[in-house]
C-alpha cells in the first residue's frame, strides 16, 4: 500500500516549498499540488476494488505494547473523503499559483503549511486507529491555526486564529478522553474492530460517545460552537476554500459517519446528532441571509451545510448514509467553487461586498456560469449533484423511514429540513444576485479580466458537480458501499430521477418558498433587524475566556507570592496531609509494617550505616544553624558526600562516584555564585515562624525516613533487576549499567536529558539576556557623546 509513502511525500514537499517559493514565486504551488494529486490518483486507482467491498489496508507498528499503530484503511467513506481532501485540494493549490502575488508576505510558509495540512487531513480520513486519528486531528488544528493567522500583523487574524485553536483543539481533549474510554471498554483501539464488535452493553459507552461527539461538533462548527468558522474567514480565500469548505470542517462529519454504523442506535447518540445538526442548519441559513460580505455569506452557508451533513452522517440508516456521500461530495464541489469565485472577484475588483459590486456577470461570463451552476447545486436544483443528494436526504426522513423509535422524529426532522432548505435556496439566490447582477444604485468598478488558468479551478469543480449530477452512478457506487455497513433501512440509490414522488413535491415547495423569500428580501431584512438580538455564541466564548482568565489571575495572585519558603511549605504540608496521614493510619492500624523480626525493627545492616547516618544528620542540622553562606555550602556538600558513603556501603560505587562528581562540581559552581552574594544570610524567621518552620521540616523528614523504611518491607516479589543479566544478553551489550540507562530505562534517561537541556537553555538565555542588558546600558552614553560632539561642532 502506497499511502504511507504518500503521507511522507506531503512532509518532504512541505520542507522543500519555502526554497521553491523563493525560486519560482507563486508558481511553486503547482509543485505543492503534486502530493494531494498523487493521493487522489492513488484513491481512484483503488476505487473499483473498494466499492466492490475490498478495502485497501496497511499497518505500521508504533507502540505495539499499547496497541497503538498507524493502521490505515481505504473503504468507501475514506475514498469519498480522500477525493475531497486531496482531489479538490490539488485544484485549489493550482488556483493559488495565480491568486497570490510574488511579494506576498511569508508565501513559502503558507505553501508549506497548506501541504502539511493536506497530509494531516489525509491521515485523519484514512487511519484506522483512534490514537493515530487524534494525532492527525490535532495536526490539522495546529496547521489551521497558523493558516488562519497567516497575516499575523492584523489583530483580527491573530484573534480568529486563537479562537479556532481554542475551540477545535480545546474540545479535542474531551474527545481524546472519549477515545481512551471507548478503546478500553471495547478492548481495541482499531476503529474497524470496534465497529465489528461494539461494546453495546457497557454502561460507560454513552459517556464515551458523548465525549467524542463534543470534539466532532467543535471541529465541524455545530451550534453553539459555530462562531469560530465565520471568524476564520480572515484567512486568505484559498485557505478558506480548502480548510472551511472542502477539508477541515468535514473532519467532524467524517468521524460521526465513521462511528455511526456501530453506535448510532446507542442512546443518546441519535438524539444529540439530529437535534444539534438541525439547529445548526437553521441558524446558519438564517444568519447567511443578512450578510453583505460574500465570503461571510458563504461561511454561514457552510455552517448550515455542516449541520445538514452532521444529521445525515449520524442518522444511522442506509438512506441517510447514501445521502451523506452525495451531499458530502456535492458540498465540496459547489462550496469550493463559490469560495474560489469570491477570491477571483476580490482579487480583480478589490472588494467582495454585495453593496459595492455590479456588472460582474456581464464582464466575467464564464465565471458567472460556473458560480451560478454551483449555487444552483447548493440550492438543490436539478440536474446537479446537490439536487441528487438533497433528494436522498429528504427521502430518508419521510414518514415511516425516519431513524429512531420516537414517532415524532420523522415529522419534526422533515419539517426542519424543509425550512432549512428554503433558507438555503434564498441565500444561494442572494449570492448569485449580489455577486453578478447589475445594480442601478452602484457604480461599476474598473478591473481587468482574470487569466484563464485563474478561472479554470472554479470552472472545473463546478463542472464536476454538473457531470456527477447528470451521471451519479460513480457517486452512487461509493454511497452503496458506505450504506451497506448500516443494518437499518432499505437500500436507496442516488439518481437524478426517481419519478413523481413526495420528495419531488417537497423540492418544488422548497424552490417556490425560497424564491418568494429571495424576492421579498427587503422585507426579510427589516424583519431581521426588528427581531430581538439573540444570545451571541461568540460573546459567550469571550465571557467564558474572561472568566477563566480572571479565575487564573485570582488563584495565581493568592498562591504565587514570590516566596520560595512559602512554596516549599505548601508542598511539604500537602505531603504530610495526604500520604503522611495514610502512613500514620497504616502504622497505627497495623496495615503497614516496618522491616525487622522478633527482635524489633531492623535499624541497619551494618554499624557503619549508623555512623554515616549520624554524619548526615549532624551536617544537615549544622547547615540550618550556620549563618554564613560559605560555611553552609561546605556543610551541605558534606551531607551529599555522606549520602555517597551510603551508596558505597550498599555496593554501588559507580553511583557514589557520580554523586561525588556532581557534589564537587555543584560546590565549585556555587562558590562562583557566592562571590556576588553577601557573606551572611539575610533575616531569618524567629518566634512562631521559626518554630513552625522547624516543626514542618522535622515532620516532613520523619515522614520520608519512615516511608522509605517501610517500603523496604513492602516488597513481596523478587526484584526486577534479577532478570537484567539475561535481558542484557538479548540486547547485545556487556555493560549492564549502560544497558539499564540506554535500553531498560530509556524513557527515564530521556527525561533526564530533557531536564538538563532545558536547564542549559535557561542558563544560556540568562547569560545572553545579561549581555544584552549591558549593551543597552553602555550604548546611550556613546550616543549622547556623539550628540554633544555634533552640537559642539555645530
Tens of pLDDT, residues 16-45: 999 999 999 999 999 999 999 999 999 999
Closest to 338 in 3D by CA, of 439, 254, 233? 233
pLDDT (tens digit per residue) in 107-151 = 999 999 999 999 999 999 999 999 999 999 999 999 999 999 998
Binning pLDDT at 50, 70 and 90, where does residue 729 land?
confident
Mean pLDDT in residue range 374-379? 96
Binning pLDDT at 50, 70 and 90, where does residue 593 land?
confident
- What pLDDT sits at residue 559? 77
The strand pairing partners of 353, in sequence order, are 293
Distance from CA of residue 749 to its chain's centroid?
Answer: 29
Rounded-to-10 torsion of CA 538, 539, 544, 546: 120
- What pLDDT sits at residue 724? 78
With 90 as the cut, is the pLDDT of residue 199 above it? yes
Tell me phi and psi for residue 368, to 5 degrees.
-60, -45
Residue in the structure block whose three cell numbers are 557623546: 785
- What pLDDT sits at residue 784? 43
Binning pLDDT at 50, 70 and 90, where does residue 735 land?
confident
With 70 as the cut, is the pLDDT of residue 773 above it? no
Tell me phi and psi for residue 74, to 5 degrees.
-120, 100
Q: What value does the mean pLDDT of the chain take? A: 88
With 80 as the cut, is the pLDDT of residue 783 above it? no
Least confident of 142-156, 169-183, 251-265, 690-704: 690-704
Spatial separation of the C-alpha atoms in residues 150 and 117, rounded to whole Å? 14
Binning pLDDT at 50, 70 and 90, where does residue 793 land?
very low
C-alpha dist (Å) from residue 297 to 209, 310, 347, 429, 488: 33, 20, 18, 11, 37
Tell me phi and psi for residue 399, to 5 degrees.
-55, 130
pLDDT (tens digit per residue) in 288-308 = 998 999 999 999 999 999 999
The strand pairing partners of 600, in sequence order, are 597
Spatial separation of the C-alpha atoms in residues 324 and 308, rounded to whole Å? 9
- Written as nine digits, the cell of 238 is 484559498
- What pLDDT sits at residue 790? 41
Mean pLDDT in residue range 640-667? 87
pLDDT (tens digit per residue) in 216-247 = 999 999 989 999 999 999 999 999 999 877 78
With 70 as the cut, is the pLDDT of residue 362 above it? yes
- What pLDDT sits at residue 674? 83
Helix-helix angle 205-219:269-288, to 10 degrees: 20
> Biggest alpha carbon distance in the chain?
107
pLDDT (tens digit per residue) in 677-719 = 888 887 665 667 778 888 898 899 889 988 888 887 777 777 7
Q: Which residue has the higher pLDDT, 70 or 99?
A: 99
Spatial separation of the C-alpha atoms in residues 91 and 458, rounded to whole Å? 9
Domain parsing of the chain, residue ranges:
273-519, 735-794
Mean pLDDT in residue range 42-63? 90
With 90 as the cut, is the pLDDT of residue 84 above it? yes
Spatial separation of the C-alpha atoms in residues 204 and 403, rounded to whole Å? 23
Mean pLDDT in residue range 440-453? 89
With 80 as the cut, is the pLDDT of residue 515 above it? yes
Mean pLDDT in residue range 434-448? 90
Residue in the structure block whose three cell numbers are 490518483: 41
Share of the chain above pLDDT 90, in %: 59
- What pLDDT sits at residue 782? 45
Spatial separation of the C-alpha atoms in residues 395 and 324, rounded to whole Å? 12
Angle at 613 between CA 612 and CA 619, to 5 degrees: 90
DSSP of 4-38: HHHHHHHHHHHHHHHHHHHHHGGGHHHHHTHHHHH
With 50 as the cut, is the pLDDT of residue 648 above it? yes
- What pLDDT sits at residue 770? 59
Spatial separation of the C-alpha atoms in residues 753 and 751, rounded to whole Å? 5
pLDDT (tens digit per residue) in 607-624 = 888 889 899 989 988 988
Cis peptide before 83 (omega within 30 of 0): no
H or E stretch including 478?
helix 473-483
C-alpha neighbours within 13 Å on the C-beta side of residue 572:
19
Amino acid at each position: 500500500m502506497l499511502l504511507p509513502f504518500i503521507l511522507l511525500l506531503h512532509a518532504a514537499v512541505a520542507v522543500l516549498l519555502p526554497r521553491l517559493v523563493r525560486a519560482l514565486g507563486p508558481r511553486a504551488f503547482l509543485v505543492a499540488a503534486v502530493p494531494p494529486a498523487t493521493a487522489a490518483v492513488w484513491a481512484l486507482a483503488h476505487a473499483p476494488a473498494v466499492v466492490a467491498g475490498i478495502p485497501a489496508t496497511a499497518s505500521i507498528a508504533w507502540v505495539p505494547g499499547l496497541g497503538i499503530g498507524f493502521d490505515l484503511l481505504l473503504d468507501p467513506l475514506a475514498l469519498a473523503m480522500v477525493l475531497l481532501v486531496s482531489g479538490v485540494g490539488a485544484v485549489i493549490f493550482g488556483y493559488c499559483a495565480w491568486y497570490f502575488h510574488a511579494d506576498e508576505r511569508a508565501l513559502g510558509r503558507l505553501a508549506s503549511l497548506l501541504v502539511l495540512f493536506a497530509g494531516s487531513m489525509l491521515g485523519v480520513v484514512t487511519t484506522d486507529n483512534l490514537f493515530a486519528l487524534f494525532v492527525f486531528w490535532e495536526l490539522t488544528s495546529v496547521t489551521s491555526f497558523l493558516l488562519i493567522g497567516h497575516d499575523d500583523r492584523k489583530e483580527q487574524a491573530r484573534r480568529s486564529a486563537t479562537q479556532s485553536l481554542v475551540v477545535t483543539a480545546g474540545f479535542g481533549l474531551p474527545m481524546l478522553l472519549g477515545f481512551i474510554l471507548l478503546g478500553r471498554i471495547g478492548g481495541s483501539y482499531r476503529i474497524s474492530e470496534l465497529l465489528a464488535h461494539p461494546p453495546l452493553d457497557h454502561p460507560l459507552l454513552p459517556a464515551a460517545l458523548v465525549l467524542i461527539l463534543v470534539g466532532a461538533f467543535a471541529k465541524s462548527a455545530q451550534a453553539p460552537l459555530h462562531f469560530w468558522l465565520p471568524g476564520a474567514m480572515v484567512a486568505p480565500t484559498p485557505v478558506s476554500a480548502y480548510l472551511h469548505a472542502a477539508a477541515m470542517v468535514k473532519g467532524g462529519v467524517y468521524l460521526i459517519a465513521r462511528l455511526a454504523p456501530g453506535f448510532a442506535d446507542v442512546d443518546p447518540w441519535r438524539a444529540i446528532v439530529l437535534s444539534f445538526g438541525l439547529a445548526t442548519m437553521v441558524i446558519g441559513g438564517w444568519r447567511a441571509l443578512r450578510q453583505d460580505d460574500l465570503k461571510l455569506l458563504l461561511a454561514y452557508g457552510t455552517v448550515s451545510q455542516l449541520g445538514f451533513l452532521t444529521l445525515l452522517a449520524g442518522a444511522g440508516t442506509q438512506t441517510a448514509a447514501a445521502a451523506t456521500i452525495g451531499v458530502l461530495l456535492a458540498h465540496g464541489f459547489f462550496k469550493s467553487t463559490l469560495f474560489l469565485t469570491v477570491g477571483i472577484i476580490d482579487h480583480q475588483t478589490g472588494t467582495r461586498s454585495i453593496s459595492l459590486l455590479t456588472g460582474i456577470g456581464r464582464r466575467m461570463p464564464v465565471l458567472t456560469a460556473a458560480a451560478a451552476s454551483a449555487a444552483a447545486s447548493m440550492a438543490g436544483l436539478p440536474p446537479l449533484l446537490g439536487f441528487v443528494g438533497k433528494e436522498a436526504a429528504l427521502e430518508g426522513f419521510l414518514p415511516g423511514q425516519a431513524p429512531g423509535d420516537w414517532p415524532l422524529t420523522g415529522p419534526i426532522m422533515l419539517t426542519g429540513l424543509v425550512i432549512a432548505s428554503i433558507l438555503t435556496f434564498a441565500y444561494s439566490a442572494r449570492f448569485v444576485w449580489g455577486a453578478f447582477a447589475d445594480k442601478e444604485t452602484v457604480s461599476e468598478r474598473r478591473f481587468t479580466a482574470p487569466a484563464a488558468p485563474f478561472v479554470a479551478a472554479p470552472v472545473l469543480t463546478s463542472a464536476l458537480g454538473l457531470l456527477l449530477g447528470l451521471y451519479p452512478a460513480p457517486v452512487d457506487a461509493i454511497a452503496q458501499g458506505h450504506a451497506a455497513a448500516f443494518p437499518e433501512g432499505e437500500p436507496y440509490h442516488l439518481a437524478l430521477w426517481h419519478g413523481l414522488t413526495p420528495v419531488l413535491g417537497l423540492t418544488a415547495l422548497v424552490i417556490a418558498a425560497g424564491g418568494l423569500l429571495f424576492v421579498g428580501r427587503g422585507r426579510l431584512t427589516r424583519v431581521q433587524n426588528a427581531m430581538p438580538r439573540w444570545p451571541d455564541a461568540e460573546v459567550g466564548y469571550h465571557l467564558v475566556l474572561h472568566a477563566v482568565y480572571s479565575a487564573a489571575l485570582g488563584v495565581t495572585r493568592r498562591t504565587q507570592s514570590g516566596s520560595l519558603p512559602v512554596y516549599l511549605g505548601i508542598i511539604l504540608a500537602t505531603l504530610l496531609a495526604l500520604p503522611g496521614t495514610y502512613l500514620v493510619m497504616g502504622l497505627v492500624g497495623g496495615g503497614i509494617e516496618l522491616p525487622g523480626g522478633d527482635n524489633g525493627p531492623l535499624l541497619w545492616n551494618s554499624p557503619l550505616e549508623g555512623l554515616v547516618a549520624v554524619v548526615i544528620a549532624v551536617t544537615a542540622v549544622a547547615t540550618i544553624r550556620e549563618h554564613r553562606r560559605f560555611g553552609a555550602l561546605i556543610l551541605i556538600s558534606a551531607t551529599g558526600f555522606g549520602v555517597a558513603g551510603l551508596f558505597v556501603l550498599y555496593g554501588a560505587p559507580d553511583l557514589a562516584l557520580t554523586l561525588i562528581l556532581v557534589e564537587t562540581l555543584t560546590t565549585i559552581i556555587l562558590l562562583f555564585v557566592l562571590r556576588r552574594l553577601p557573606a551572611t544570610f539575610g533575616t531569618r524567621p524567629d518566634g512562631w515562624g521559626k518554630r513552625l518552620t522547624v516543626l514542618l521540616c522535622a515532620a516532613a523528614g520523619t515522614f520520608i525516613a519512615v516511608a522509605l523504611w517501610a517500603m523496604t518491607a513492602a516488597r513481596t516479589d523478587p526484584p526486577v533487576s534479577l532478570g537484567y543479566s539475561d535481558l542484557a544478553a538479548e540486547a547485545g551489550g556487556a555493560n549492564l549499567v549502560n544497558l539499564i540507562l540506554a535500553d531498560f530505562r530509556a524513557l527515564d534517561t530521556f527525561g533526564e536529558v530533557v531536564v538538563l537541556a532545558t536547564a542549559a537553555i535557561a542558563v544560556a538565555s540568562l547569560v545572553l539576556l545579561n549581555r544584552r542588558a549591558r549593551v543597552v546600558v553602555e550604548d546611550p552614553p556613546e550616543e549622547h557623546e556623539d550628540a554633544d560632539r555634533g552640537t559642539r561642532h555645530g
